[in-house]
Structure formats: structure tokens, C-alpha cells
Amino acid sequence: MTISPATEAAERQLSLSTAAARNLATTTKSVPQMQEISSRWLLRTLPWVQVPGGAYRVNRRLTYTVGDGRVEFVNTGSDIRVIPAELTELPVLRGLDDPDTLAALAGRFTQLEFEPGQVIVEFGHAADQVYLIAHGRAVRQGVGEYGDPTVLGVLAGGDHFGDWSLVDDAGIWEHTVKATTQLTVLALPRAAFEQVLDSSTPLREHVDRLVAAVGPEINRHGEAAIDMAAGHVGEALLPSTFVDYELAPRELELSVAQTVLRVHSRVADLYNEPMNQVEQQLRLTVEALRERQEYELVNNPEFGLLANADLRQRIHTHSGAPTPDDLDELLSRRRNSKAFFAHPQAIVAFLRECTKRGIYPDNVEVDGKRQLAWRGVPLYPCGKIPISKNRTTSILVMRTGEEDQGVIGLRPGPLPDEYQPGLNVRFMGINEQAVMSYLVSAYYSAAILVPDALGVLDDVQLGVEHG
């Protein structure tokens, strides 16, 4: 009879095999792991204010709307048209409520194309039409103290300029506007505007009110001014004043992210050593809720930072990629900035631009660790900031805290069955299948106390994705 090699090896075995021994050994194991967990710097950086009543009211000084909104368009192929109702975003037309007039004005815009480097309007020339930027980027240029060209700002899709030329026939361009990319604009000459003006009574009445009105004195932020005297001598008559408030301040209600965690009682009873199964299930569920909480704080249309940033605090990159100049401009528009937030790929793009210029960002100490920073302001990664299909994203900078009139996080006061601040776990019972249920809820929101507390750098180009 022939003996197989496997049988022969088994007969020669003198000790327990490792495969068999592992069945009786106690292994060293990790707790359950989860790829979704991120650093969540936004949640860690925001100062959190307790909101026992479930809503937070942002009281501000009275502010007068100046019509700095962006205009939206529709297109059919390469033919681009302005949406008539969007024309009320122009300060000259703000408050005009006549669809027929707006449609007549929208139909008289002409589409123009400009090449990179081409001048759209030039300083000193007569201003006789309004321009709406539909696509591309341009720069506003002025003259510096010593006659050198100076960039005054960047214009991109949705921006507009020259609207006051429609009602001021003696105006000139106070700056030069030059295309930096392929640029598509819609232009409305004053002559076309006057044709509609002659045939539209609502528009005529609106313009007459606009020209005749003497608006309230306001400061450069659009707030009602506080009268005062300074530099006087003797017994001068002092002005009297009061600080006016908004009559209908915004109220932010706490949002909620919830889920029902289910654990079979047999698992909880028999498989709790060496790790408590309910605790591990709950830990991973809470991590997922916190990730969703940070996503909502960035992207929620009602209270998210990206959607609620003031339009006057949104700027565009000068060249597409995020440069040190772009981040410097963000910082220059607000005091006491506390943090930048950018997608990790945007941080890589910024470092790439720094390397090109031979610049090396510094580091600051945060919670005992070194953190990348620019001009002493920490630059935190935030993967919740979206990247568009054409590989563009945004970079945020903010001032934080109630005392500093910054950005704050909102959460409720102490909750029943609180597990973590702003998050509770409530036992819902056991069903007929012996499955235990736990309701896990996280309550949160965010508030921007004054508009310049948050700035956004839009249209940040990340470059070509490799691989």
C-alpha cells in the first residue's frame, strides 16, 4: 500500500500545530476601525455657544442693502442671456418690481467676447454702458502713487460694473478693466436703456425716485452712521444720536442629524468580552454623525459657511491657482483672523505655488503640535469643502468667537441622556425580535455674527488630477 506524503507528515508530527493552537489562543485585537474618521478641525476650532432655547438670534446694527449681489445667466449652446429678475441685483435697478420692464432690459443686452489681455474699459473714457461678466476672469486696474499700474480687484462670473453709467451721462471710468482669461460679457448701452426708459412708466418712476432720494448717512460697511463730534474746542453744540438696530434680525434654529442604532440582545449578552459591543457600535455611529455635522456646517444651504458668506467677502484668485497673494488679500479684508480651512488638495496647490516663488509657509503651535500656517494663521485641512467637476474649490478664512464678533458654533444646553456635548443617546426599547434600539441625535448650527467674520476665496484651481 502506498502512503501519501500528507499522511506521512501527520504521523511524524510531534507537537500541536500552530493552526490548531490559534483556535485556543486569545488574540490581541484592535477595536473596530473606520476609514471615514477625519481630523474634523472645524469642529475642534469653532467656539461653541450653548443655545438652551433651540434658536439663536443674530442682532446687528441696521444695515442698508446696497445691491452687491451677483447676476445669474442661462445659456443655449454658446448663446448666453441674463435672467431678467437677476437684474435687480444691480444697485440702479434694486427694488424694481416690473417683470415686463426687466424682460425688456434683459433682451437688449449684447454678448461680447474678449481675449486674455484685451482692455474692456479704460480709465478716463466716457462710461456709457453696464457690463455683466458671464464667464471668465478680469482685473480692475488703477494707478498707484508713483504712476505704476495697481490691481484693485478681480472680477469673475456673476460680477458686474458700470451700472451707474445708465443714469449718469457725465460719468467716466475710474479704472481700467482688462480680461485675464477668455472672457464673455453681456453689455447694455445707455442708449438701449433709455429706449426702455421712454416706454416704461415703472422704470421712469423708479429712476426718478433713485435720483431724487437722499439716502441715510451710512458708514463704509453699510451700517446706519452714529453722529459724533471730534476735534472741537470750546462749548460746541454736540450732535445727538442713537444706534439703530435691524428690526427683523435673523434667527438660526438648531439642526439635527439622527440615526437609530440597533443591536441584537444576543450579541450584547454573549459577545461583550473583551470589548463591549454596544459601546463599540455606539462609538462608530457617533463618529459618523460628527463627520456629517462638519459637512453640514460647511455645505448646508440654510446655515452652512459656504452658502452664507457675504458676497462682499468673496474674492477670486488672481491666476487660478491659490497663491500667497490670494491668501494675503483674504487676510487684509478682516481683523484678527484665527483660521484658514481648505481641502487637502487646495493646500497642496498652495504649497506648490509657494515652492515656485521660493516661499516656505511657517508653522504655529496648536494644542501642543506644530500646524502649517500662513502669516501666523493656522491652515487646517477640511475635506468637507467640495471640489467641483472642473477641479475648482474654495478656501475659507474666519475670525471666531462671540466677543470678537466672529463665527461661532451653536449647540443645545445639557440634554437628557447626553453622551457628548450636543449629542445624546436614548434607549428606545426592545422589539419582538429581541433587537435593542438606540436613538442617537446630534444638534448643531453655526452663526456668522458680522459679515466680515468669514471670507471665501472662490474658483481655486487645483490643476490636473493625475492617475
Helix, strand, or coil (residue 295): helix
pTM: 0.75
> Counting Cβ atoms within 10 Å, is residue 298 exposed (0-12), middle (13-18) or buried (19+)?
buried
Q: Which of 69, 119, 62, 65 has the alpha carbon at shortest distance from 89?
A: 69
Mean pLDDT of the chain: 85
Query: What is the C-alpha separation between 129 and 189, in angstroms, rounded?
Result: 4
Residue 26 carries which DSSP code? P
Assess whether the previous peptide bond of 414 is cis (omega < 30° from 0). no
pLDDT at 445: 96
Average pLDDT of span 429-439: 92
pLDDT at 249: 84
Query: What is the C-alpha separation between 267 and 277, in angstroms, rounded?
Result: 7
Average pLDDT of span 100-124: 91
87 pLDDT higher than 60: yes
Task: End-to-end CA distance of the chain: give it in Å, rounded.
Answer: 60
215 pLDDT higher than 60: no
Average pLDDT of span 330-350: 95
Per-residue pLDDT tens digits for 123-156:
888 888 999 998 888 888 887 666 677 888 888 8
User: Which residues are within 8 A (CB) of 435 and not within 5 positions of it... i.e. 6 or more apart?
Assistant: 262, 263, 264, 265
Element (H, E) at 141: strand 137-143
Residue 9's pLDDT band (cuts 50, 70, 90): low
Q: Count the helices and strands in the chain (H runs, E runs).
A: 11, 25
Query: What is the C-alpha separation between 345 and 357, in angstroms, rounded?
Result: 19
C-alpha cell at 237: 453744540
Residue 467's pLDDT band (cuts 50, 70, 90): very low
C-alpha cell at 438: 438606540
Helix, strand, or coil (residue 452): helix
Query: What is the C-alpha separation between 120 and 154, in angstroms, rounded?
Result: 14
Per-residue pLDDT tens digits for 395-416:
999 999 999 999 999 999 999 9
